[in-house]
Structure 1
Amino acid sequence: MRRWMRWAATGAVGALLATGCTDGSGGADDRKGPDRALPSMAGLPSSLTAQKPDWGKCEETADSPAPGDDWSCATLKVPLDWAEPEGETIDLALIRAEATGDDRIGSLVVNFGGPGGSGVATIPSYASTFSSLHKRYDLVSFDPRGVGASEGIRCREDEEIQAAETIDVTPDTPDEERAYLADAADFGKDCARTTGKLMSHVSTTDTARDMDLMRHVLGDAKLHYLGFSYGTELGGVYAHLFPRHVGRMVLDAVVDPSADAVGHAENQTRGFQRALDDYLTSTGEDPEQGTARIVDLLDQLDAEPLPASSGRELTQSLALTGIALALYSESSWPSLTSALEAARDGDGSELLVLADAYNDRDDSGRYGTSTHSQRVISCLDDRQRPTPEQARRALPKFERISPVFGAFLGWDTAGWCHEWPVPGQHDTPEVSAPGAPPILTVGNTGDPATPYEGARIMADELGKDVGVLLTWKGEGHGAYGSGSDCVDSTVDAYLLDGEVPQDGKVCS
């Protein structure tokens, strides 16, 4: 995925191997009773299948405080290489809060996307959002392999990350282009040096197989799953691999499974411009004129960065990142208005704060590693590696789609995995899931990062009588928990009672 395909409604936004046979409806307790026998884990050693998670107190980490006493943490051993399940293992970090009611369904595994998002750090802050689900489900999340506490990837140190912020991500001259591509190639080399053999084993397919072992170890006959953003791709890949292990699955802020690397970049260019137009309309400004004013500001920053109160500078690249961050949630639009006004008055501080939030940089200059994990995972997934010449030829199309975001995302098609040391696995993920029960895909018409059209495509590719589309005419990245009673009640009815809505239902 492109670097702007981040998980839904995170704190940075400020909003928010075998098949088995049982029915797909779930039950009062998937762990118990002869009719709830766990699907076979044939071919896996008992050292993996017989694991019993040692749930205990969650500890504070460098990235997040310890959650409340309702939450407990454990580790799960999974094969480093799923082709050699009896070989070397790695540990995955898990977190759980047991169901609060008596009528327990099972575990609900939540993935917040990224790729690179830490479920262990994120899910405690969603306790209130998921309160109705928590009554009947154990809320479970995890750090996927290569993320956070699960063998987390760090390719560069903080000083190197900050130094790279001076690289122009929309190069206009041969010298800028050489610097951009050299930094991109160096990043891949840095990742290979620090990550080693794990770099070849953090694909979405690897993580989907991890989830099936997790399901088994948790004692669930079916995987009940709620995935946001990239988590929808992960859910779709799981459904393809294990269609008869799928329980109740919701995919929200859906990644278009039919799009290759360039297609994703075009989708995001279109989605962010669409969200920007909606934002500008909400302020009373004509979208075309407002876009032109932002382009003028970005051109000025390209020529001369603005000072910020922190002593740092706001570059064109950081300004683009700050604008994008604010478009992830309608609640952030007032912050964008203030930041743009300040920048036009010569102060880059507010846009820089937004960019730092997206880049996971704290006040002390320490950066999180989610973007490192994101890049390593997505470059392992993506086989397509456009050349710089191909990116140059595509720039006019990208800039027609969005004068603000087009140049960045057009160049990003070449720079993101430039000279990457590990080959990619596929052009597009396989998500067809014949034999799976209905899977609910949720699309938001104003979603900037995973444009609405992807939800319909995912529903279609899952297959006839499997994919079911729910549409929300809203704004921001993701729909569930974003303020729509219609969306929330529909998703809750499906997850809690198995009520499948009519395909194509629309929430205004």
Structure 2
Amino acid sequence: MRRVLAAALLVTAAGCSTAPAEPATQSTADPDKIAWGPCTDIKRPDGEPPAKQDSSVRCGKLAVPLDYAKPDGDKIDLALIKLPATGKSKPLGSVVFNFGGPGASGVDTLDQAAKALTTLRAHYDLVSFDPRGVERSAGVRCGNGAEMDKFTSLDTLPADDETDRQIAAANKQFAALCQQNSGKILPHIGTVNAARDMDRIRAAVGDAKLNYVGMSYGTQLGGVYATEFPKNVGRMVLDAPLDPTVTFEQRTLAQTRGFQKAYESFLRSCVKGGCDVGRDQAIANANVEKLMTQLSQKPLQVGNRQLTQGLGATGVAAALYSELTWPFLEQALGEALRGNGDALMYLADSYTGRNEDGSYSTQMTSFPAITCVDTAERPSEAELKRTEAAALKISPLFGSEGSGGLCRVWPAKGSDQARHVNATGSAPIVVVGGKGDPATPYEWAPKLTAQLKTATLVTYQGEGHGAYLSGSKCIQGLVDGFLIEGKLPEKNASCPAA
């Protein structure tokens, strides 16, 4: 009950954009057709436009029903991006991507990931989209930049009862702002409707079957799609899988363990070669704990802002998603220990989607909007306290109540439909789980595989959130072999760390 967006600290994973949200009932696109044109508003993680935009990349809009129970009623525009196939032969069709979140902009992230997908692009058009409620697709907004600064900077260290009451009030204020700014779309956001949207995308690009790569939350979206449209599944890969059946408490504790494990792996790696945070693991950890306590008592000044303990913890979590960012985390922590919080603030901002001008992407607001609609669970105050106490025992740095506190006061009703997946009747699906994944613990991979009924599990032994874009040639070879040639990985296939 300490932080309004604590859950987003644990699972959001994607790029950001400054594109404005569109009203939920104004559609300029033709139903069933994608209006393709040049891309004009793609942003990179640092807020700067690409140095040179690939002129072949196209962006477009597809009109879909706001409410699928009223297909002829109000429409919203889904924003899409297409990287046309580069091979000389006729493309095999399209592969649709969802990069996670929930709340990731597929338009921005596919553009950023293009170089890593060169092999696949030689055979397919690559397509992604901003799901409903995200960025350009009627993105959910919950306050202005100053209000978002207030929410994202709240501390996450254990607090007294008075602070808990203040955070509970902040939760209510945040939910009220979401209702005020985006109330019309809130009841219609969610994974089931996103899956229906994705089938419209499949039809609009002219594919009889959906070829799909879903990462993190995108695995739940893929699982729901395969449940709703099993006969329309083509070649589907689900990387860094979620177990949709877990409760708020189970998810919070599993992810807290995952981030704590990744943090300890970072410290072990750091001290091997002389660590800027401390000479051995115990000292390094003590220094980080001391830093967080100091930030709670006296935040570091960073320009006209303050690096609070909450932002500091967010910055640490952000860098744990990939082993490639561990050196920058060492630098950021070392500098913060010496009184300079710039680098740690940069990590936090990259995670929360804060732009240099103080505006925010929707990744921190789309997350609760989708998460809370995707479950009917509304935990009690006692359940939240129990979850928080158990999480703090696992990790004082990452322990929290999860997203239950915000969903408890969410203005839109939730449904459990997206928590039950069964792809019986679909084509084979490949699930890829990582042993060192902090955000989607490996234990969820075999569980999702079993629930789908038609899936094969591949295990990645390395660190980081997600395996396909980790740099592992083994994983990329297995996934590309399946997507391009239809070659299903062998049972119990495993790949070493990259």
Give me the TM-score of the superposition, normalised by structure 1.
Answer: 0.87
Matched, 1:58 2:39: yes
Q: Which residue of structure 2 lines up, in the alignment, with residue 385 of structure 1?
A: 378
2:433–2:445 Cα contact (<8 Å) kept: yes
Equivalents in 2 of 1:399, 1:459: separation in Å?
A: 30
2:178 alignment partner in structure 1: 191
1:268 Cα deviation after fit:
1.0
- Asked whether 1:425 is paired with 2:419, we answer no
Q: Specify whether residues 9 and 357 from structure 1 end up closer, same or farther in structure 2 by C-alpha distance, changes over 3 A only.
A: closer
Cα distance change of structure 1 residues 396 and 175 upon mapping to structure 2, 3 Å threshold: closer
Shift of 1:169: 3.6
1:361 to 354, 358, 367: 354
Q: Give the letter aligned to residue 35 of structure 2.
A: D
1:222 aligns with 2:186: no
> Partner of 1:55: helix, strand, or coil?
strand
Question: How far does residue 503 in structure 1 lie from its aligned partner after superposition?
Answer: 2.2
* Worse overlay, 197-206 or 1-10: 1-10
SS in 1 for 2:60: strand
- 2:318 aligned partner: 325
The answer to whether the Cα contact below 8 Å between 1:261 and 1:382 also exists between their aligned partners in 2 is no
Q: Which whole-Å deviations, capped at 9, do the CAs of 1:100-157 have from their partners, x for residues lacking one? A: 2214211100111111111112211222111111111111111111111111111110
1:357 to 1:415, Cα distance in 2 relative to 1, 3 A: same
* Greater CA drift, 290-299 or 3-12: 3-12
Q: Does 1:72 align with 2:32?
A: no
CA contact (8 A) 1:100 1:136 kept: yes
The one-letter amino acid paired with 1:447 is: D
Counterpart in the other structure of 1:504:
492
Relative to structure 1, the CA distance from residue 428 to residue 298 in structure 2 (aligned partners, 3 Å threshold; closer, same or farther) is farther
What is the letter of the counterpart of residue 109 of structure 1? V
Q: Distance in 2 between matches of 1:172 and 1:453?
A: 31
Counterpart of 1:294? 288
Alignment partners' CA distance in 2, 1:335 and 1:171: 27
Is residue 394 from structure 1 mapped to residue 387 from structure 2 by the alignment? yes
3-state SS of 2:185 partner = helix
Q: How far, CA to CA, are the matches of 1:11 and 1:361 in structure 2?
A: 8
Q: What's the CA shift for 1:266?
A: 1.2
Shifted more, 212-221 versus 277-286: the winner is 277-286
Q: State how far apart, in whole Å, the 2-side matches of 1:202 and 1:68 are.
A: 32
What is residue 28 of structure 1 aligned with on the other side? none
Paired AA for residue 376 in structure 2: R
Q: What is the aligned-residue identity percentage?
A: 43
Q: Within 5 Å, which residues of 2 pair with 1:129-168?
A: 129-168=116-155
What is the Cα deviation at residue 321 of structure 1? 0.2
Find the residue that maps to 2:425 and give its secondary structure: coil
Q: Distance in 2 between matches of 1:418 and 1:314?
A: 28
**453-462 vs 493-502, which moves further:** 453-462
Judge conservation of contact 1:120–1:143 (CA < 8 Å) in 2.
yes
Aligned mate of 1:105, from 88, 92, 97:
92
Gaps of 5+ in 2: 1-5, 18-28, 272-278
Q: What is the CA-CA distance between 1:174 and the residue it aligns to?
A: 2.1
Q: Pick from 285, 297, 303 the counterpart of residue 303 of structure 1.
A: 297
Q: Report SS of the residue matched to 2:9.
A: coil
Q: Call closer, same or farther: CA 1:352–1:337 in 2, change over 3 Å.
A: same
Q: CA deviation at 1:50?
A: 7.0
Aligned residues: 468
Report the counterpart of residue 428 of structure 2 in structure 1: 438
Match of 2:24 in 1: none
Q: Of 479, 484, 488, which residue of structure 2 is paired with 1:491?
A: 479
Partner of 2:9: 4
Aligned match of 1:282 in 250, 269, 281?
269
d(CA) in 2 for partners of 1:65, 1:77: 27
1:387 deviates by 2.8
Structure 1 counterpart of 2:26: none
Structure 1 position 362, deviation (Å): 2.5
**Structure 1 equivalent of residue 458 of structure 2:** 470
- Correspondence for 1:31: none
SS at match of 2:415: coil
Q: Do the aligned partners of residues 10 and 441 (structure 1) sit closer, same or farther apart at CA in structure 2, a change above 3 Å counting?
A: farther
Displacement of 1:98: 1.9
Shift in CA distance, 165/142, structure 1 to aligned 2, threshold 3 Å = closer
What are the residue-to-residue correspondences of 1:365-376 with 2, within 5 Å?
Answer: 365-376=358-369
**Which secondary structure does the structure 2 equivalent of 1:4 belong to?**
helix
Question: Is the counterpart of residue 210 in structure 1 residue 213 in structure 2?
Answer: no
Q: Let me know the Cα RMSD of the aligned residues.
A: 2.3
Shift in alpha-carbon separation, 1:127–1:167, aligned structure 2, 3 A: closer
Query: Are 1:95 and 2:81 matched, yes or no?
Result: yes
Q: Tell me: CA distance 1:109–1:448, structure 2 relative to 1, closer, same or farther (3 Å).
A: same
User: Which letter maps to 1:54?
Assistant: A
Deviation by residue 1:454-488 (Cα, 9 ceiling, x = unmatched)? 1111111101xx11111111111111121111001
Kindly provide the amino acid, as one letter, of the partner of residue 2 in structure 1. A
Unaligned residue ranges in structure 1 (runs of 5+): 13-47
- Please give the per-residue CA displacement for 1:257-277, whole angstroms capped at 9, x wherever unaligned: 231222211121011011011
Alpha-carbon distance, 1:247 to partner: 0.3
Q: 1:146 to 1:194 in 2, by over 3 A?
A: same
Question: Secondary structure of the residue that 1:127 maps to in structure 2?
Answer: helix
CA offsets, 1:410-433, max 9 Å, x none?
Answer: 2x3443324111121128611111
Q: Is the 1:258–1:457 contact (alpha carbons within 8 Å) kept by the matching residues of 2?
A: no
Cα separation, partners in 2 of 1:361 and 1:258, compared to 1, 3 Å = same
Distance 1:457 1:222 in 2: 25
**249 and 380 in structure 1: CA distance in 2 versus 1, 3 angstrom threshold:** same
Q: Matched residues in 2 for 1:9 and 1:476: separation? A: 14
Q: Secondary structure at the match of 2:407?
A: coil
- Worse-superposed segment, 148-157 or 284-293: 284-293
Question: SS state of the match for residue 35, structure 2?
Answer: coil
In structure 2, the residue matched to 1:481 is 469
Per-residue CA deviations over 1:381-405 (Å, capped at 9, x if unaligned) read: 1222223332222333212222321
CA distance in 2 between partners of 1:104 and 1:460 (Å):
32
Letter in 2 for 1:86: D
Give the CA deviation at 1:301.
2.0
Between the aligned partners of 2:106 and 2:307, the Cα distance in structure 1 is 31
Change (3 A) 1:49 1:432: farther
Structure-2-length-normalised TM-score: 0.89
2:253 to 245, 261, 266: 266
Q: In structure 2, what is the Cα distance between the partners aligned to 1:337 and 1:228?
A: 27
SS at match of 2:184: helix
The CA distance in 1 between the partners of 2:103 and 2:14, in whole Å, is 14
Distance 1:288 1:254 in 2: 32
SS at 1:328 equivalent? coil
**Counterpart amino acid of residue 198 in structure 1:** I
Question: How do 1:117-132 residues align onto structure 2 when only pairs under 5 Å count?
Answer: 117-132=104-119
**1:259 counterpart SS class:** coil
- For the structure 1 residues 217 and 49, does the alpha-carbon distance in structure 2 shift closer, same or farther, using more than 3 Å as the test? farther
